[in-house]
Structure 1
Amino acid sequence: MKIEHLGLFVADLEAAKDFYTKYFDGQAGPKYHNPRTGFSSYFINLAEGARLELCHKADLPQVATERLGLAHLAFNLGSKEAVVTDLEGNLLELTI
């Protein structure tokens, strides 16, 4: 079994897409939008088959910094090790 993808809600969908494609060499698929629900998303295809779904819905409340759920997202870069944040403060663990 493998994890098919990880979904991450973001406040600025286009900026998040640009961030993950630029800094993690991701390939963005076409934008999905459901006009009935207001939900939009992009799938970002990363190297070695991992996929990240960036999700947005305008009427969702902002999330508190202390919460249950996703703690961080980790990427194995093979050359650097660090913990950084993305544009919206989500923790990204970079490992070697």
Structure 2
Amino acid sequence: MSIEHVAIWVHDLERMRSFYETYFGATANSRYMNTQKKFASYFLSFPHGGPRLEIMQMPGIREAPKDGPSQWMGYAHVACSVGSETAVDTLTNQLRTDGYTIVDGPRRTGDGYYESVVLDPEQNRIEVTI
């Protein structure tokens, strides 16, 4: 068994697509649109394979409680491997410079990961790791 994709609801589909393309090297498929349901989505693939990320938008989806660095029950984060400690540092610094919230790190965790935790444009947590 393997995870094929993970999906998240978003407010601004194009902004989120651009964020993942710009900072994580994602490639989006053609925008899918179901006009009857007013549903739109992209599947984002990443340079080194692995599961895809589906970003989805549709009216009427209830807002989850999000408070920046606060955490809630359910899915906690998506972890993106960037290949090295230097790459973690570089991407984290670029995201900070570009105005994104850095929740933690870069740092070495108690279980040996080297990571930072950043918030995407819609306050979803992303672990940037080796």
TM-score between both structures, scaled by the size of structure 2? 0.69
Alignment-derived partner of residue 61 in structure 1: 62
Partners of 2:7 and 2:15 in 1: CA distance: 16
Corresponding residue for residue 53 of structure 2:
52
Hey, what does 1:95 align to over in structure 2?
129
Partner of 1:85: 119
Shift of 1:67: 4.0
CA apart distance, 1:47? 2.0
Determine helix, strand or coil for the equivalent of 2:17: helix
In the TM superposition, residue 94 of structure 1 has moved relative to its aligned partner by 0.9
- TM-fit CA distance, 1:68: 3.4
| Identical-residue share of aligned pairs (%) | 40
Match of 2:28 in 1: 28
Aligned pairs, how many? 96
Q: TM-score, normalised by structure 1?
A: 0.91
What is residue 13 of structure 1 aligned with on the other side?
Answer: 13
Hey, what's the Cα distance between the residues in 2 that align with 1:2 and 1:47? 18
Q: How many angstroms apart in 2 are the aligned matches of 1:49 and 1:39? A: 26
* Rg larger in structure: 2
**C-alpha RMSD of the superposition:** 1.3
> C-alpha separation between the residues in 2 aligned to 1:36 and 1:49?
32
Three-state SS of the structure 2 residue aligned to 1:48 is: coil
